[in-house]
Amino acid sequence: MNDHVRRWVQACRDCGSRKAKAREVIPPLRSQGVGDPGDRWALDVAGPLPLTSGGNRYVIAAEDYATRYSVVAAVPNHTAKDVANFIAEKLVFVFGPMRELAMDGAPELNGKVIDALVEVLQAKQLT
């Protein structure tokens, strides 16, 4: 009897059209851990913004994962050279070399200049 009912339900068009669709299982997010202050920094560039009196149009911002301490600088352009100078002068020279640097997929953040800087710092680049 059980097989008969199962076959009848599978053959029924109305039953098939009303059947709930299987839900996609999304795995839970895993914490990456914070680490020590200065170990991991997040970096992003915002702009173009209205031109300032100093001739700046972009903002480069970095935030420490552990302390949420932020470092921000206004720059006229958002080239890889500007970003590399920001990392060196505002982060490395002040806080020391980081172990990880998280950035989005922007071209100025993923070029040869930034790759070379990250390699010199012996840091891991996260995108």
Residue 48 lies in a domain: yes
Classify residue 7: in a domain, yes or no: no
| Whole-model pTM over 0.85 | no
Rounded Cα–Cα distance for residues 43 and 109 (Å): 9
Per-residue pLDDT of the chain (127 residues; tens, 9 = 90+): 778 877 777 777 776 666 666 777 777 777 666 778 888 888 888 889 999 898 999 999 999 988 999 999 999 988 888 888 888 899 988 998 888 888 887 766 777 777 787 788 877 777 7
What's the CATH number where 88 sits? 3.30.420.10
Angle among Cα 7, 13, 16 to the nearest 5 degrees reads 75
Q: How far is the C-alpha of 13 from the C-alpha of 49, rounded, in Å?
A: 58
Residue 95 lies in a domain: yes
Range of the domain at 91: 40-126
